[in-house]
Structure 1
């Protein structure tokens, strides 16, 4: 991939010395935070075995729902992480019950006409196949990958995010979140030997790198391509403050997604790009390193988004893994991830409560619509646990 912007345009980290000077949590401290998360999963396990948490909580408590949302895979992914971290069979049993729900969902085509099939099926069914050889999970994930391919627009070289493919309001729309949906296609290509999955993912990530990332290494949430000619049209936002601002969770998806794709597409430009996004992100954080919901804001009274911080922590760890040991910012990225995780564990954990109580407080789902503001968000809970597993175990991603 040839990018128009070189890695030399990475912003200098303004607080590198401060971040590196922070005391780092030791293994015992991280294990204690992980145990606290597992306790919260245990409190909700009976409630969320045949049901799923809604995307965001109300008063810190998730209501149960059927398997119909784009977010349902995050809870199942938490069950698989809990199983890996603890070896306890109860998490596996609950996760395997949910794998059957995901197989039923794709077979009955329940709300699957969108690009978030990677969020749904990588964390629930690809993980089941990788961890336990669950054939039902494998077949469901392959069916989901085939469904995702129906949203590929060859002329534009992208996977359309939402909406009927004939809807002119949605036509040619990609969003940065899709970086995390692409691993499902790469996995399907490896499983089947069919290169079309991989080629679609390649062209989409290249389009995202060219068009969603701005020259200053901030990101658009969403970008429109002409679906017939493939010409780039315009960038905009859906959940950020404005079309010209930088939605924090979107930037975190970029920090995480480009390095995850690098596992399949070994292109050093992807890592150079992720490092530029990471530096932009870190340079716009409050003192505790937990971002506000849009990076145009850098402190109170603007709401924090703990869910974006958890995603970014995972992304920084993935990025640090891929960077050369000689990279001048590698240690700072890793130290920042550790500091974020410790801060989230020390100051953002919801109290252990009744079934349905979330893990991380102070998340934001959709600020413009005032949905899930200052609440737990299930993806934030998932990525917080993923970060803890990354830091305490030898772990291979489900992505």
Structure 2
């Protein structure tokens, strides 16, 4: 349970809500759906088994090369997704080899946070929620909890109080990165909310809520599309400008970023109960769904609807 943290509600967002267009569909009959879920379960675990044999104690890199993921040490921002898959596989199957492999990886995350190896990133939330918080919740492993709390402290250190945001990347004194928040960070905030639950220290949840509010105010445009990145002045706290790092153009809407916003705002609603986060998530969702092609697989940027641009699922 979240500790009681007195707060001032200052978020007032003027964002349009598009009516959701009607989607045609072919709903599955219950027995067919059950059969497909069983087959998906089987196939998923078989793929995880193959990957576990292939990866050993290493991790898949953040991007594939010629259809294969190169193996890497515990660096960059995606390694915990593999650990999280192992925890999910253990939950689904009860097969102890998944639990043992995940716990071995938790130890690697402990080494990483103790040495502050590749931790100048907001993605500490992804890295330690999926690996160590999950490990503690599922097994009661006290070391996993301790590693996650160390990571939450490191993430809190990235909070710029005047600007009210968590800096995305790089050293806090880097003039190219100082004050930059990105839409992705909404997915990293649960680590901070969880740390307040565990410790009773409101600083973690307060930083998470302030960042979510600033993201809602500045990363979300009036039409419910989103900037990928936005710069704040860390001295004055004033907004500066938005642009993109991974989208098609500064004024376009990167599809994955819009999805981060939909899910991330919903996560803040789950922890805070603030319905403004829920309503804004719904508005972003409608914007996203209204820009899907006929097969419902989005282009890599929502501005590219109607072109032959690559899809992003």
2:67 aligned to which of 57, 60, 69: 60
Contact 1:115–1:148 (Cα < 8 Å) also in 2: yes
Runs of 4+ in 1 over 6 A off after TM superposition: none
1:230 aligned to which of 218, 234, 237: 237
Find the counterpart in structure 2 of residue 314 from structure 1: none
Q: Which moved more, 1:28-37 or 1:123-132?
A: 28-37
Find the counterpart in structure 1 of residue 90 from structure 2: 83
Contact 1:292–1:302 (Cα < 8 Å) also in 2: yes
Q: How far did residue 57 of structure 1 move?
A: 1.1
Contact 1:14–1:283 (Cα < 8 Å) also in 2: yes
Contact 1:285–1:299 (Cα < 8 Å) also in 2: no
Structure 2 gap segments, 5+ residues each: 1-8
In structure 1, C-alpha distance between the alignment counterparts of 2:207 and 2:56, rounded to whole Å: 34
Contact 1:251–1:281 (Cα < 8 Å) also in 2: yes
1:1-399 matches, within 5 Å, as 1=9, 2-5=11-14, 9-16=16-23, 18=24, 21-24=25-28, 26-306=33-313
Say what the alpha-carbon RMSD is for the aligned residues. Answer: 1.2
In structure 2, C-alpha distance between the alignment counterparts of 1:59 and 1:15, rounded to whole Å: 38
String of CA shifts for 1:269-311, please: whole Å, max 9, x gaps: 11100000000000111112111100001245200011xxxxx
In structure 1, C-alpha distance between the alignment counterparts of 2:66 and 2:310, rounded to whole Å: 16
In structure 2, C-alpha distance between the alignment counterparts of 1:31 and 1:251, rounded to whole Å: 31
Secondary structure of residue in 1 paired with 2:54: coil
In structure 2, C-alpha distance between the alignment counterparts of 1:248 and 1:31, rounded to whole Å: 30
Please give the TM-score of this superposition, normalised by the length of structure 1.
0.74
Contact 1:54–1:64 (Cα < 8 Å) also in 2: yes
String of CA shifts for 1:200-226, please: whole Å, max 9, x gaps: 001000000000000000000000000
Secondary structure of residue in 1 paired with 2:303: coil
In structure 1, C-alpha distance between the alignment counterparts of 2:44 and 2:162, rounded to whole Å: 45
Higher relative contact order (CA 8 A, sep 6+): 1
Contact 1:3–1:209 (Cα < 8 Å) also in 2: no
Q: How far did residue 27 of structure 1 move?
A: 2.3
